[in-house]
Amino acid sequence: MNRTIFLTGAVLGLLAVLLGAFGAHGLGKLVDVNAIKTFETGVKYQMYHALFLLILANVYKIPEQKKKWVFYCVLVGGILFSFSIYALATNGLTSFDFKSIAFLTPIGGTFFILGWILLAYYGFKSLK
């Protein structure tokens, strides 16, 4: 499981760098400044949680079974939160109205929060 968590963190980090570069250099001519700021928010949270996963993979005090739940929460949170933000920020570039999936963003944020809560809880219980 640690290998999967680490690899997922590395891939999400790589995607955050690539998407960040695209947002900084490719979106400027396509969307307005507010959309770029929104896009950057998605990139920041994706990178924060990619680093979170890299650290989680190397925390050996928390049992694998417990770590798995933290990982799933962060992964689902990242997909729902960051990727819905990317879609919303680039909404004007497609014919699909991504505002119809805007409800996914707070659900993703809730999964992020749950992942952090589980990390704190499992870490506290393991470090007695």
pLDDT in tens, 75-127: 999 999 999 999 888 887 777 777 888 888 999 999 999 999 999 999 888 87
Asked if 45 and 81 touch (Cβ cutoff 8 Å), the reply is: yes
- Kindly list the distances between the CA atom of residue 83 and the CA atoms of 34, 93, 119, 124, in Å, as whole numbers in the listed order: 17, 15, 23, 31
- What's the CATH code, domain 2-126? 1.20.120
Domain ranges of the chain: 2-126
pTM for this predicted structure: 0.85
